[in-house]
Structure 1
Amino acid sequence: MAKRRVIVESDSEDSAGAPKRARTDEYSEAPSSQAREKTRLNGKGKERARQNEDGESDAEFNMQHTGVDDEKYEEMHQEQIRAAVESKRKIAGGIADHGIIEAIEMHQFMCHKYLTFSFGPQINFIIGHNGSGKSAVLSAITVALGGKANSTGRGSGLKAFIREGQPASEVTIQIKNQGEEAYKPKEYGKSIVITRKFTKEGSSSWKIKSRDGKVISTKKEELSAICDHMNIQVDNPMNVLTQDAARQFLSASHPTDKYKFFLRGTQLSQLSEEYTTCLENIEHTTKVLNSKKAVLPDLRAACKEAMARFQEATKARDQKKKVNELKKELAWSFVHDKEAEMTKAVEHAAKTGRRIPKIENNLKEAQARFEAETASVAQCDEEFHALGNMNHLADQKKELTENMRNNRSLLNELTSERKQMETTFKAAKESIALIQKQIDDEARRMEADTQTKREESSRHLEHARISLQEAEAALPALIETKDQIDAENRTTKEHGERASNDVQRMRDDIMRCDNMIRNCEMQEKNQYAAYGRDIPQVLDRIRRARWVGDQPVGPLGVHVKVRDPESWADLLRRQLGGMLTAFAVTDAQDLKPLKRILVESGNPHLLIFVAPRDIFDYSSGEPPAHMLTVLRALDISDPYVLRIMINQRSIERMFLAKTRREGEQVLREVNGGGQAWTADGYLLKRYPEGGESTSPLPKQRNDATNLLLSGRNSAAEKEHYIRERKRYEEEVKVYTQRVHDLKQKYMMGKRAYDAKLREEMQARQTISIARDRLHQLQEAAQEDMPANIAGLEASKKESEEEKENLEAQFKDHIARKAEIDEEQKSLLEQLNAVKRDMEEFESRQKKVQTKVEKAAEKRMEAQNSIKHYEAKLKGEQTKVDEANEAAKVLVEEFEAWTAKAADYCDRVETTRRSDEIQRNLDSVQHALKEREKRHGATVDEMTVEVNKTRANLEVAENQLKQMVSLNKRLKTSLVARLNRWQEFRLHIAVRCKLVFQYNLSHRGYFGKVLFDHDKGTLQLKVQTDDVAATQGSRDKDPRSLSGGEKSFSTICLLLSLWEAIGCPLRCLDEFDVFMDAVNRRISMKMMIETANQSDKKQYILITPQDMTSITAGQTVRVHRMLDPERNQGVLAFS
């Protein structure tokens, strides 16, 4: 068989046929960086060698690989690598636990309104006709994982991916997250869902969620951490390779571009750049160390100069010792002078204090006289008060005089009435006699009517009277029955109204319970809900603000608790509610800023107190311990808040009682009056002069302040009001039924009352008819009697009745006058007795008052004597205190001076005066300063300077030595890493060659991958069957390869390069676009076999061809795209 001709790809080719899309510069690198890398790796840089103090060479090391060259390395390891590759083909690859894509979802992305895929764990084919949007899947993967938009070859920015006419687009990708190396499995679960949304305006956002949809993060840093953990390299051109990049890479790229593609795809270029940065840092450190090394001679010279100056300065130490001795002597001479001054002051204080006892004796005598006279005054006062007063006598005298005056007025009135009655009585007698005479005369003239007519008229009158009496007798019983029914109706109505009011009250209580339940729920979320609106924000603003005085305190109720909430919480909450929600400041200038904060937060009604922090003693104002006050019922944790409540509400003197009666009893036990709050709702006051007053307390508000001082937490308070609401609801049902029953009873009673009322009206009508009948009969009888006799009889009867009345009045008048005369006599005797008692009392009172005045005068004299001697004693005591204080100060100064002198030096006995020693010391110090001027510094300063320069030199030498050693170890480490990097590069290159040859052999082709690591080039040599048959040994231009051959070569090269990368994703777009059926079938089979052999890798391959001729196994999943929707109309031609 003739030897195949090898087609070598030309290095001079820099252009190719126009690709489907514009070519990107994804694989280009700066030539200067590549040249610098080659220079360092080959060791061509030169630098002058230096010699450090330790004799170690600091010349730049040669980084050229010192081992075998490329061909020898390939000969040594080719078989071993080939065996490893062959053995891997015999083992089926496993499914990845993490890092592979489970599903992808696109909204308004490129040409898709909505598209979703569920990928298999190993091999995925996406098929569909041209224009169906297959390549959008790879673009969506790149965008969702944070890749650059221009790396997709479909646009320069995210805006290009938004479907036309839509404002935004969204891509969601689901990544598997299982196994031992899962990323944060407790937070994300078995899958990580990444959603990226971007808009026409240019904004972009991420949502990184767990499998159940919970958002874990919205930061791109979290996405980068996930990709790094799972080794997903979205911007690596070998992981997601577009169709344009693949075709252009094979047919038109330069060998240096291929080599850069190889380095970048295997991440060797990134590692090389990091090593280059390390080398630059090491070189920079070397230059810095060399510059520091040049400073050492200067430090040594400075240290030597300081030592010389120090030697000269030590000569002044003897003279300084003399100064120290004089200072010691001077110190103890001051102590000696202070001791003499102290002795003189102590003697003066003792002399002054000897006058005190005599004055105290005189004061005691004056006090004894004062006490004796005080006792005498007290005795006289007791005697005077024992007399009492004559106010009661004066009151009796006034009352008796007034009664006598009233009786005299009554007697005068009785005399006038008697005279008038006598005149009237006489006139009545005369009138009766005259009328009787007239009747007798008229009777003799009458010739009488018949006896029968008068008897019949009398019978009719008697019957009419009896009918009237019976009707009038029946009426009271009817009225009584009616009134009884009306009374029962009123009672029933009152009970009904009371029950209806109880129902309304309980409904109000139910509403109050509902409000309190809502307030409890608010307090569960906000512990300050009972104190006002947004109190946590108010407190936060108070903490962040600056204040003239102390930081405001509040709400005050936070520091207040009730010791017995069941008994006193409601009462104290009602009376102290305003204070519990108030704030306090210590400076008036802080009032307006705090008020502004409260108003802005919606709390303008909250009180603010201005109170300095005066923690005073309030115990003197408290009542006896057995009396309960507001202060004793509260537990206040903050002393400042306690004093504010004492000043504002006098809680130490405000008494508490269960009932009004108990409160009145408590106030009667208090001297000087007081106030009390009672649990049944009253404010009681008792005034010092003895008066009392009672007023009802205001009703409790139905708001969140009812939660204050309850002694229960929010949950317990809520449960309490829920139980209260249920109880009220049950009571409402009972009382509602009672209202209904009382209403029915009232209606029945009202009907009975109306019936009795009708009966009463009928009875009254009967009485009226009977009375009219009797009146008619009487008038008829009167008409039958002669008019003159009837009139005279009527007049006579009236006169007789008037006479009888006058006689009765006259008897009463006589009895009344006798009674008043007797009373007047008794009152006169009592008045005379009272006057005698008053005169006797005034005589005794005058005598005792004279005695009291004399005793008080003597006590005043004794009191003035006490004031005189007290003032004198106070003056003398002040003088003694001042003398003692002066002596005490001198003693303390003497002791302090002695202690300071002892601390300074041992005691020095001297007889010289301090001023003499001072002059001697000044002379010696002046001489010492003159010497220091000549040397420029003191001995102490020179000592410090020597130590400082010596320490600087030692530190610089040690640091330089340590840094030189560290830099050397870094260089050695970098050499080892560079050698390992070269081994990695050679090993990966050999694997790539072997796999590429193996992949070409599937089609019967032969080829090589030629690496030149020194020049940085990668060339391909491919020999096909038709070249050998038709052209013999002639070389064939790569561009003359058919589309299928180019695509097949691309697949072989990519599969060989994929063996060298660790990313779990492999994405390739339209790899078989130019393949014929044979090349496509072989390529597909080869790719499926390679994918099945790859361990924990996922392949996503896009092709416009169908899969009918391909036998897909269980590891292959095929996704078919729908045909594109063109939505084109028909062109109209005329």
Structure 2
Amino acid sequence: MPPKRQVTIQSDSEDESERGSPKRQRSDPLSDRDAPGPSQPTQTQDNDSSDDEGDIVIPIAAEDADFDRENIDKVRAAIQAGKNTVKGIAEYGLVQAIELEDFMCHKKLNFEFGQQINFIIGHNGSGKSAVLSALTVALGGKTTSTGRGTGLKSLIREGQHQATVTLKIKNEGPEAYRHDVYGDSIVIRRRFNVDGNTTWRIMDATGTTTVSNKKEELSAICDHMNIQVDNPINVLTQDSARMFLGASPPKEKYKLFLLGTQLYQLSTEYEACLESIGRTERVLASKHESIPDLERLHKAASARLKEAEKARRQEEKVHELRQELAWAHVAEKGAELEEKLADVATKEGRIPKIEESLRVSEEELVAQEEVVHACEGELDNVGSVDTLLNRKGKLVKEVREHTKKIQGYDSEFKRIDASILELEQTVKDLEQQIADEELRMATDTQAKRDELDQRLAEVKKEVDTLDAKMKDINERKRVLMVANDETQAAGKKVADEIGGLQQRIAEADNMILGARQSMKDMFVPYGNNIKAVVEEIERAKWHGDKPLGPLGRYVKVKEPEKWGAVLRNQLQGILTSFAITDPRDRDQLKRILARDKNYNSILISERDIFDYSEGEPPKEYHTVLRALEFSDPWALRLMIDRASIERVVLSPKRKPLEEALLRLRGGGTGWTLDEFFVRVYPDGGIQSNGLNMNRVRGAQNLLLSGRNPEAEIAHHEQKKAEFVAQVQQLQQRLNAHKAEFATRKAEIGLLDNEGRVINDQLRQARARLSQLQEEVNEEMPTDIAGFVSVKNETEEDIANHRSQRVAVEEEKAKSVSAKREFEREIETIEAQIAEFNEKHEKVEEALRKAVLLRVEKQHAVTHYNGKLKEEKEELAQAQAHAKVTQEEFENWSEGALRLCHDERIETDRKPEEIEREMKSTKKALEQRKATADKRGASIDDLAAEVDKCWTVMNKAKREWKQTNRLNRALKRAIITRLRRWVEFRSHIALRTKINFGYHLSNRGYFGKVDFNHTEQTLQLKVQTDDQANKGSGEKDPKSLSGGEKSFSTICLLLSLWDAISCPLRCLDEFDVFMDAVNRRISMKMMIETATENSNKQYILITPQDMTNVHIGDNVKVSRMDDPQRGAGLNMAAG
């Protein structure tokens, strides 16, 4: 396969016809002026005296006649061998199909091409030439080369906004282009619109998958397949073919020859290279002239330097001291750098600790937030005491009202008693007056009066007796009612005790049930179905370590009977908690616990087995930690971290604990068996509060019991039996109280009945007394009767007052009884309020402590954030200082290495010592310089001048030599390429001549192609058959007829086609000037040529029909109908 050349694809635009000239103007090798070029000899003299290669001369190519004589036989043989060689169909680069949409005059046109010869025929105006235009546009050619417009928008069908051209190219064989991506075909689709926008879609064989939409990919495809769409020989449009077949001048034909064979592009590139080489030669010549002057300067400087050689030793000494001084400074800076780096390392080491403390504080803050939320929830669950307070208020009001009534009754008693005393005194006075009057009365009425008086006295006695009985009954009722109130209060107390014992019995039953369940499931004390929780924890995947818990699994109490209850009550929350190391695991563990309605605490902490011994008090203090045993060291650290068990002291009694904590430096906290929480502050203050020992419920009582399930069951069964026995005893007492209460209540009922009977008798007796008194009054004298009447009225008043006092006593007894009932209810409510307040205060105290602890955690987070920021700022400052010191150290080291020529000098002397020695040596050196150089130049200046002169001279020589060699190599390379270009041109010209004669012979003509490479012309000379008969010579094509001229040009075109390797050849309206004979022969000749070159594809467009042309299997004729506006077009294959 011939070598491939890069194909440059020009992009079309609306103003393509208005483009300016190229940026760099180059001489045209096809111009008429006599300028040096590939066809002109050029000589160049090399001025490098040190490189003995002689002159390079561009040889003149041999004369065409000599070349033809020497090579004609070889070329003929090669042409004949090529004809005899059977060539297969090209495997890639052939156009398989094309589709036009709204392109030029076609609304829609599509058909497929044959793999060798394709004739497209149709009447003028049928749109045949649009196929070549579409082919050029689809492959990225210039719009102007189609001869159909100045821009892409001129190719869009009138009235439409955009046009689309789709091309399908064969892509088979081992050298196919990216066959794994595209497959056996490459589909190229170009769409452009009237706004000047254009897009490519390069797709695989299916036409559905877009591989690329970039023009660079299309360029690569054309380059790989050697498709030259802008080559005027490969694709001759209608206008190009008409001009080519017409009277084109020799220079135009020669230009077409060079352009079609790509020789023109090579010639312009070679000329540009020669121009660049010439400019470089002139620059080198100028530089070469300055070298002797540089040599003289170096020689003079060296001579002056030799005069100061004696001072060199001292100068070297100074230099050595300077080097040592530099490394002494480097050593000092290195020591300083080590100090800075050590400081940075120290600060860097502190930051992880602070970050860890910050992380722990943040985790503790999160955990404490949960505690606060839990306490708030518990506070909400406690409820409100308003109902009890309201009821108490009402009862207090009732008590006050009854108290007021009782006080009123007492006042009424006093008033009645005073009235009775006064009335009794009045009766006594009246009786005395009556007695005095009776002494003055006659004795004849004495008997009757004595009888009445006796009867009156008897009735009075009866009234007094009945009145006394009534008082006795009322007093006995009062005593019984008071006794019943006491019995009722005692019975309620016993009932409350029974209720408490029954609750303990239920708790014992629950404990027995829990203990029995724990025989099968050891996790019963820790929550609901915790065994399943632990199993799920084992199966689940975690970000950090597998969660640990519940922590109580790993804790035992050493003296459970003594300390178990207190420790269980105070540590139950953490004993049932779980621990994780990664905060991201919290939500998953929380979900697992919540499935069975477990709300155990979740602790977040790193697995840090720290030393806690410093936080413990002396050994004589019995702490919670010393009362427990742990089977897991992390569980131990968690309880130390969360509950400070290493510092909480245990004691049987409060007072000894207070005294012990006072002896501790800084105070402390502790718990006692008599249920006290004691805190001693550093200033000596003491706070003691009662422990809430009722917080543990249900199966949690199994925690820290120290008993196995069997012992636990036996223990609680024994407790239950004790409670049952106590309940039975209390029940007997309660039954006795109830019987006693019922007996008294019956007695009170009997007394009420007896009181009613006596009251009736008393009323009847008083009625009789009143009647007798009236009779006595009637028998008495008027004065005595008046006294008696007043006395009787007074006695009735006394009786009424006494009856009234009895009624008031009854009302008072009712008020007293009601008051006592209300007071007992108040006592009950106050107990409930006290219990509520105690519980509320404990929850509030827990919330307050939790909030205070949260504030402490927040302060800790704030503190560590500030500390971390401060440490980071200090670290950044230290790093900045270290960086500056590092840079100074590196710069000083680099300077010292440069000074010492990459050699390190070890020294342990101080810079001051070296500076003193160097100062004395410099002083001696300056004295030597003054005597060695009278011109005032120092040794350093002389050495620097010699070095500079040598460097400049050596650099100039080296650069000149290297550049000169490179330029000569480039010149030799370009000359070699020029020789080959000339040979290639001569070879193509000779091949064209032979093929031209061969093609003319098909018509019986004789002729030749004259190439004048110097004048850059191409002339055809043809002798027709009638001219041969007449014996006339060859003549210019201008004198030929139109058909003869077209036939001759076709022969030339076929000859040129033979010289190029593009797989695609297109020709439009090649036979417009031919007569029938020339057209038939031309057709036959073109078909034969195409048949011989079966690896090429021919697309030939003609307005003539193909009736007189023999069509073989390798020929496909497509007839194009006249286009119908508004309808799609199809090709009819012949």
The two structures have a TM-score, normalised by structure 2, of 0.47
Larger Rg: 2
